Every structure is written in structure tokens, then in C-alpha cells.
């Protein structure tokens, strides 16, 4: 027996502390090597992720062991499972429930599943278990027929953790497989955001296919005329991506765009003696490379680079790297380090998580022309840099996000309504896609922070609210004394502003109408929209914005769906800043131009 008065030697105490510390540090690694997990993606027959599907894990004797629900991206994750055989049930209202037996969990292996729910039946395929061959087990499924109608999620709070659970490994059945298409006819105004001139030119298409299983090719195009000035424009993009081991997905792309500027632009640049029939053209060529790398068990690095060559009066060449490092702190908790520059890549764009699928985003990115300005008759292109550290935590139906960030803008493009001939020739460039003009606001730097809270209120109703504090470019005077643009440029100073953002998304029962609305309010006037790279669930452009999508009856005998879409930007003209000129006229600075646009699209 230990004598109570006996003192433990100091070396023994140190050894005990060392053993305890080693046990604490090695416990997660030992647990990860002993236990396994199951991760899956629940989708409907059109490939849309499904929110709130109940996934029940059963032991070998049929007893419920764990229950989880698919998150906002249709992903479910069951961790900390002892090795062995399990059964899985997937159920969702108005869909067919399915049961799969013989799902094997191995030590230290993350088993990936792809669930496809359809109106008449459901299939589940075990894609792979660690390093191995694809095994198609859809024949083992048991199903029960009942009336069902597919539902679609409206708002995605965050991207899927791993690309493997979103794209799913293709089956090598023939040379071409998993062919998808998107076609759209649109009309109306365009959105000149602070990052790029975003427009649907009129007629757009995108086709994606898988070649021999692991090679993915996408070809897309967008052609038409500017709605405000009738200027012809076209854009085409081709990308090739290959799926490799360890989650690597290198992709290369080539994008070309051309726009014939209106005659008004020629008069603004050259004066009355310039070309009378047409204005100068804008031609851009963008070469892109991107990839994803896994760093250990907890970290993922998405990175890439864009080489942009723009010809407008002169040739401008830029290299724009970008990257995002995501580190998993624990279950549904991540820290992100981000860097972006130039016009954001479609995967890094603030709109990347919005509803609509990869092909719709592919078409939207084609319309992102760089923001060009003139300064003393010399062409300049806006350049942006963004640094951010963000934290995300998802708990049940709740999502909490927080970040600190810093933005740099060089040759910032400022949208404005200016009296004809007020400023000197060579300082004002007519906007590419609206009735406004573009001015060079110089360089500025902004720092800030943001927080966001999102919650799924019902199966078809989700809401988010956020607050951010950021530096905004605001005029210090409401009156100009001269017609010199440099006076306006000097009056623009960075001020601290508080921003409140909110978003709501819903599906109208019966009609299946999808509505996404958002609003941004600021306590300071901002000449350029702040927090340009905000990608939180509560993000919003200035003012009131809405997107309405309505599925339409379609019985043309072709596999696919038809839908009409309406886009409304800054409905209430929020944030317009009036500036009085010395001769009694007015200039309006426009952080976001009010616009309306409609589109009819077919997805197959």
C-alpha cells in the first residue's frame, strides 16, 4: 500500500505527465485509424442535392445505430463507426425510401455513397471504399412504389466538403457518359457589379460530358447584343478536367470574349472626328488552370491562376492567382484562408454557391467582362486583391460564419450617370451594357469583418442575416466646383460603414416556384459596393434583389426540364448618390445599377 506521507519522485511525476500528454495528442490519430465513416450525397433525378433527407444507420441485427440528415448541399456524414457490416435507409418526403444492406465500414476508411432519388424508384451506388475498384450495387436495392414529386433546394449555404461527393466517379461504360446540357435565351438589362460587367448576352449554351470515365469536357458559349446599346458581343469557353487519385482534379480552360463598343464610345474617346460607324472593340483571351489537393486528413487546398490578355486601344496583360485553404477543426467546423485577385474564377466567385448547378454558373461566368475605364485617354483595367480568414460551423439546421478581410482596388471602376460632355474627353467611358458611364476612381484599400447566421426554418424555407463593418469609398462633398474629374476623385475617401444583409429563399408549395431574395443596407453612402468577395449565406448586392425561377410544363418527349427565370437587381435604386455640378446639373454615383432581366432555359 502506498504510504500517504510518501512523496512521488519528481521524475515519476514528469513521466506520468508526459504519458498523459502523449495520450491526449495521439488519441485523435488512434481513433481515426481504428474507426471508419460513411459520407454520401443525396440527389434527385435531375442531379439536384436534396436537403433534410433522413439517413438511418442500422447494425447487423437491424437495430438503429445512428440517424443524421443531409445538409444544405445534400451531403450526410456519419463518423466514428466501428468496423463491420451496416445497413442504410434513406427517406425523404415525396420521394421513394430505400434500404441497402451490406455497407462495409473499414478502419480509417471513408466510404463514399451516391444516393439518387427518383419519382418511381431510388438507387444507391457504393462508389468506392478507400483505394479500390468501382462496384455498382444498385441491383441490390429494395424499393416501394408510391406517389412522389421531386423537390429542389433553393439556397446552398456552403459548398460540398470534397469534390468527390459532388461530381461522383463516372462509370466507364462507353466513350461518352454523363452528358448534360443547358440552353438559355435571355433579354433585359445587365448587372455592372464592382468586380465585373455581368451580363447574359442573349443566347447561351453549355454542354458537359465525361470521356472514358475520368476526363470531363465542357464547351459553352454566349452570343447576342447589348440590351442598352445593341452592341454585338460573343464569348466562348472550353475546359478540360481530369479526376485523379487523392481527390486531385486539375483543370485547364480557354475563354475568349469580343465586344464591339457603340459609336458613343468612339465619340467619348476620339471626339467628333473619330469613327462615325462603329466604336472600338474589346477582345479578351483568358487561360486558366485550377486544381484541388488534399493535405493530410483535415486540409484541402483549392488553387489556380488566370492569365488575362485584354485588347482595348492598347493591350493589357495580367496574371491573377487565387487559392483557398480549408482546414477541418472538427465535425462540421472549418477555418478558411483565402486569396483572390482580378475577376474571380467561377469556383471562387461570390455566386459560386448559388442555386442552378455548374452549367448555369459556367454560362454566367462567360458574361463577366473586365471593368475598363479611361484615365487621361489611356485605357486601364480594374484590378482587385482580396485576403480573408474565415470560420464556418454547421450545427443541425444552423450555420454560423465569421471572417476578417482586406481588399485592394487599383484603377477602381465607378458607375455613374453624368451629363453629356461635362467631363473632358478621355475620362468618361460609356458602360458596356447599360445607359450609365464608367469613371476611374483611382486606388483604395479597405479592411473589415463580417458575421452571418443562417437557419433552415422548414424543408422549403431558409433564411440568413449578417452584419459587416468595412471601409467604403464615399464622397466628402456633395458639390463640384469644376468640370475636372480629378476633383471628384479627390473627394472620394474611405469611411467606416456598417452593413446589414439578409436573404430568404423558399419554394412555393404546389407551384414549385423558387424565390431567392436579398437586401443590403449601409449607414454610409458608398460609391462602390463594399465587401466585394462576400460569399456567406447572407450575402447580398446593394439594395433589394430577387431571383424567381418557375418550372414550366414540358411534354416535348425530350428528357429534361424547362424553366423561366426573372432577375431583379436593386429594385428600389438604393444607394444612388447625387452630386451637384458647378453649372447646376447633377451626377449620380451608382454602387449598383437597377436592372431587370428574364430568361427561358432548358436543362437536360
Domain boundaries, the chain: 35-143, 163-603
Output the pLDDT for position 119.
52
- Would you say the C-alpha torsion 158, 161, 162, 166 has a positive or negative sign? negative
Output the pLDDT for position 539.
92
Residue 262 main-chain phi, psi, to 5 deg: -70, 170
Helix or strand holding residue 181 (H, E)? strand 176-188
CA dihedral 164, 167, 172, 174 (to 10 degrees): -170
CB 439 within 8 A of CB 279: no
CATH no. for 163-603:
2.40.160
- Strands (DSSP E) contained in 396-481 are 398-410, 413-417, 429-430, 437-440, 444-458, 461-475
Indicate the burial class of 587 (C-beta count within 10 angstroms; 0-12, 13-18, 19 or more): buried
Cα distance between residue 250 and residue 488, in whole Å: 46
Output the pLDDT for position 359.
80
Output the pLDDT for position 130.
45
- Helix, strand, coil % in the chain, rounded to nearest 5: 10, 50, 35
Helix or strand holding residue 564 (H, E)? strand 561-569
Mean pLDDT by 10 residues, the chain (604 residues): 46 52 47 72 76 85 83 82 85 76 80 71 45 39 36 38 43 56 78 62 83 81 72 87 78 90 66 62 90 88 92 88 93 93 61 58 78 84 92 93 95 86 75 77 92 92 95 91 87 93 92 92 91 91 92 75 89 91 89 85 84
Pairing relation of β-strands 299-312 and 281-295? antiparallel
Output the pLDDT for position 144.
35
Cα distance between residue 438 and residue 484, in whole Å: 15
- The number of helices, as runs of H, and strands, as runs of E, in the chain is 5, 37
Homologous superfamily (CATH) for 35-143: Carboxypeptidase-like, regulatory domain (2.60.40.1120)
What is the grid cell recorded at 291? 486544381
CB 176 within 8 A of CB 194: no
Output the pLDDT for position 344.
61
Amino acid at each position: 500500500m502506498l504510504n500517504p506521507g510518501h512523496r512521488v519522485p519528481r521524475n515519476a511525476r514528469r513521466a506520468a505527465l508526459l504519458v498523459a500528454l502523449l495520450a491526449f495528442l495521439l488519441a485523435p490519430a488512434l481513433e481515426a485509424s481504428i474507426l471508419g465513416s460513411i459520407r454520401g450525397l443525396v440527389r434527385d433525378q435531375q442531379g439536384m442535392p436534396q436537403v433534410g433527407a433522413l439517413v438511418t444507420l442500422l447494425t447487423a441485427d437491424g437495430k438503429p445505430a445512428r440517424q443524421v440528415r443531409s445538409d444544405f448541399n445534400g451531403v450526410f456524414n456519419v463518423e466514428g463507426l466501428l468496423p463491420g457490416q451496416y445497413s442504410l435507409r434513406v427517406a425523404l418526403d415525396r420521394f421513394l425510401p430505400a434500404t441497402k444492406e451490406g455497407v462495409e465500414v473499414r478502419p480509417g476508411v471513408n466510404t463514399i455513397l451516391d444516393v439518387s432519388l427518383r419519382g418511381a424508384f431510388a438507387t444507391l451506388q457504393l462508389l468506392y471504399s478507400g483505394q479500390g475498384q468501382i462496384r455498382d450495387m444498385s441491383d441490390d436495392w429494395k424499393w416501394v412504389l408510391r406517389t412522389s414529386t421531386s423537390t429542389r433546394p433553393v439556397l446552398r449555404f456552403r459548398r460540398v466538403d470534397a469534390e468527390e461527393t459532388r461530381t461522383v466517379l463516372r462509370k466507364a461504360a462507353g466513350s461518352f457518359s454523363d452528358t448534360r446540357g443547358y440552353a438559355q435565351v435571355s433579354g433585359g438589362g445587365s448587372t455592372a457589379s464592382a468586380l465585373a460587367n455581368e451580363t447574359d448576352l442573349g443566347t447561351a449554351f453549355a454542354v458537359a460530358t465525361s470521356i472514358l470515365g475520368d476526363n470531363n469536357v465542357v464547351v459553352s458559349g454566349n452570343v447576342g447584343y447589348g440590351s442598352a446599346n445593341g452592341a454585338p458581343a460573343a464569348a466562348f469557353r472550353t475546359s478540360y478536367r481530369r479526376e485523379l487519385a487523392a481527390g486531385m482534379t486539375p483543370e485547364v480552360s480557354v475563354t475568349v470574349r469580343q465586344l464591339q463598343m457603340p459609336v458613343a464610345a468612339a465619340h467619348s474617346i476620339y471626339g467628333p472626328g473619330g469613327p462615325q460607324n462603329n466604336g472600338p472593340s474589346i477582345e479578351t483571351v483568358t487561360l486558366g488552370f485550377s486544381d484541388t489537393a488534399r493535405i493530410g486528413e483535415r486540409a484541402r487546398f483549392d488553387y489556380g491562376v488566370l492569365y488575362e490578355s485584354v485588347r482595348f486601344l492598347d493591350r493589357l496583360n495580367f496574371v491573377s492567382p487565387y487559392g483557398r485553404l480549408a482546414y477541418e477543426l472538427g465535425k462540421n467546423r472549418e477555418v478558411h484562408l483565402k486569396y483572390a485577385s482580378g475577376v474571380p474564377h467561377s469556383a471562387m466567385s461570390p455566386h459560386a454557391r448559388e442555386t442552378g448547378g455548374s452549367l448555369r454558373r459556367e454560362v454566367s461566368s462567360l458574361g463577366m467582362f473586365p471593368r475598363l475605364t479611361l484615365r487621361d485617354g489611356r485605357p486601364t483595367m480594374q484590378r482587385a486583391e482580396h485576403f480573408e480568414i474565415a470560420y464556418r460551423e454547421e450545427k443541425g439546421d444552423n450555420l454560423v460564419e465569421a471572417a476578417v478581410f482586406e481588399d485592394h482596388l487599383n484603377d477602381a471602376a465607378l458607375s455613374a450617370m453624368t451629363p453629356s460632355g461635362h467631363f473632358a474627353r478621355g475620362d468618361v467611358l460609356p458602360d458596356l451594357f447599360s445607359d450609365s458611364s464608367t469613371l476611374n476612381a483611382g486606388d483604395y484599400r479597405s479592411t473589415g469583418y463580417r458575421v452571418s447566421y443562417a437557419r433552415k426554418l422548414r424543408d422549403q424555407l431558409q433564411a440568413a442575416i449578417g452584419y459587416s463593418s468595412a471601409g467604403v469609398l464615399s464622397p466628402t462633398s456633395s458639390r463640384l466646383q469644376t468640370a475636372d474629374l480629378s476633383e471628384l476623385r479627390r473627394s472620394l475617401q474611405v469611411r467606416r460603414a456598417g452593413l446589414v444583409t439578409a436573404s430568404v429563399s423558399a419554394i412555393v408549395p404546389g407551384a414549385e416556384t423558387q424565390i431567392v431574395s436579398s437586401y443590403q443596407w449601409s449607414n454610409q453612402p458608398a460609391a462602390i459596393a463594399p465587401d466585394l468577395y462576400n460569399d456567406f449565406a447572407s450575402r447580398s448586392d446593394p439594395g433589394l434583389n430577387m431571383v424567381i425561377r418557375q418550372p414550366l410544363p414540358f411534354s416535348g418527349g425530350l428528357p429534361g426540364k424547362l424553366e423561366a427565370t426573372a432577375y431583379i437587381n436593386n429594385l428600389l435604386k438604393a444607394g444612388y448618390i447625387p452630386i451637384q455640378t458647378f453649372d447646376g446639373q447633377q451626377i449620380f454615383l451608382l454602387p449598383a445599377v437597377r436592372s431587370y432581366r428574364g430568361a427561358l432555359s432548358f436543362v437536360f
